[in-house]
Amino acid sequence: MSRKKITVVGAGNVGGTLAQRLAERGYADVVLIDIVEGLPQGKALDILESLPVLGIDVQVTGTNSYEETANSDLVVITSGIARRPGMSRDDLITTNQGIVASVTEQVVRYSPNTIIICVTNPLDAMCHVALETSGFPKQRVIGQSGVLDTARFRTFLAQELQVSVQDVHAYVLGGHGDTMVPLVDTTNIAGVPVRKLIPEDRLQQIVQRARDGGAEIVNLLKTGSAFYAPSAATAQMVDAILLDKHQILPTCVYLQGEYGINDLYVGVPVKLGASGVEQIIELDLSAAEREALHKSASAVRELVEVLHRARE
């Protein structure tokens, strides 16, 4: 039986670390592609040379050509620029729109049956670019943000209560940004509602820290952004799809009426399996949570309108 094949587009910090994580899982060959000559080849060779130590037999290939990505079962798009000082959100979105559109065209050309996971920011808007450019069904174009945002929230709750992260059950929904929606009402620690364990004012501080999670790391690093947690979050989604786990994870998906939101990519709980999105899970939200989710969706819609204006 031939191994699965995963392509990671973009050999920067997120892409390179993701390629390592996926290669170390041992169930798929990995192709790392980037426009910078030598960068994907060097990182791929370095990862490949680590595998004998780990006893893993997969192929890791670095390339500047999409021909080597042909017939990928899954493609992760991490390529794009990070926001720089003085750059507006609109500048970022239009630059990355061009990058993601051109990448998606090549991906579709060589892997017409693949599933695409977008990681490039602004995430929710880039999913729209990939969907519209690919012409794929919405089940096969998804975005990673909710797993990461939820992981940050769970980290801070576990630290606060000094419990295992495995006992912290939570979801963060909505757009990937300031308007994300941690579902405090349903968050529990081994079945105990979190509101019984943490005072409300402290809980709101933790919620805000989760919302600011990416910015906190950017401010500390000063010359880059997070990549260990984003790559781990993406790898969990890849596992769910390629191992056909039917796992429910918060995922950026195209909503058509679910949660009262139409024709928009927003983060909600989704069952992921071999076909991509198998089911969108509709949680019973409180009135306040539903309002917050719709506010978050409105922020995403504004970004999508910037995209459409840029194309006109």
pLDDT in tens, 98-119: 999 999 999 999 999 999 999 9
pLDDT at 263 over 90: yes
CA angle, 11 then 17 then 23, to 5°: 100
Residue spans in the chain of domains classed CATH 3.40.50.720: 4-143
Return d(Cα 145, Cα 234) in angstroms, integer. 8
Non-local CB neighbours of 49 within 8 Å, separated by 6+ positions: none
- Tokens 């917050």 correspond to 292
Strand stretches in 257-303, DSSP E: 262-273, 276-280
Query: DSSP assignment, residue 3?
Result: P
Query: How does pLDDT run across 274-291, given as a tens digit for each residue?
Result: 999 999 999 999 999 999
Domain 4-143 -> CATH class: alpha beta
* Enzyme catalytic residues: 176
Two tokens, residue 211: 């919302």
- Tokens 């999913």 correspond to 127
For residue 155, count CB atoms less than 10 angstroms from its CB and return exposed for 0-12, middle for 13-18, buried for 19 or more: middle
Instruction: Give the three-class secondary structure for 105.
Output: helix
Predicted local confidence at residue 87, as pLDDT: 65
10 Å Cβ neighbour count for 70?
14
Predicted local confidence at residue 86, as pLDDT: 66
Query: Which stretch of 45-54, 235-244, 271-280, 300-309 has the lowest confidence by average pLDDT?
Result: 300-309
Return d(Cα 93, Cα 88) in angstroms, integer. 9
Question: What integer is the mean pLDDT of 186-215?
Answer: 96
- Tokens 């801070």 correspond to 156
For residue 194, count CB atoms less than 10 angstroms from its CB and return exposed for 0-12, middle for 13-18, buried for 19 or more: buried
pLDDT category of residue 90 using cuts at 50, 70 and 90: confident
pTM of the model: 0.97
Domain 146-311 -> CATH class: alpha beta
Residue 188 exposure: Cα atoms within 13 Å on the Cβ side: 5
Question: What percent of the chain clears pLDDT 90, i.e. is strictly above it?
Answer: 89
Return d(Cα 234, Cα 226) in angstroms, integer. 13
Predicted local confidence at residue 224, as pLDDT: 85
Q: b/e string for 101-139 if b means 16 or more Cβ within 10 A? A: bebbebbbebbeebbbbbbbbbbbbbbbbbbebbebebb
For the chain, the first-to-last Cα distance in angstroms comes to 48
- Listed residue (136, 173, 171, 134) closest to 265, CA to CA: 173
Q: Which residues pair with 115 in a beta bridge?
A: 74
Return d(Cα 267, Cα 76) in angstroms, integer. 17
Predicted local confidence at residue 30, as pLDDT: 98
Cis before 122 (ω within 30):
yes
pLDDT at 73 over 80: yes
Predicted local confidence at residue 297, as pLDDT: 97
pLDDT at 47 over 70: yes
Residue spans in the chain of domains classed CATH 3.90.110.10: 146-311
Two tokens, residue 115: 């599933």
Q: Which residues pair with 256 in a beta bridge?
A: 262
Instruction: Give the three-class secondary structure for 229.
Output: helix
- Computed over every residue of the chain, the mean pLDDT equals 95
Return d(Cα 170, Cα 186) in angstroms, integer. 7
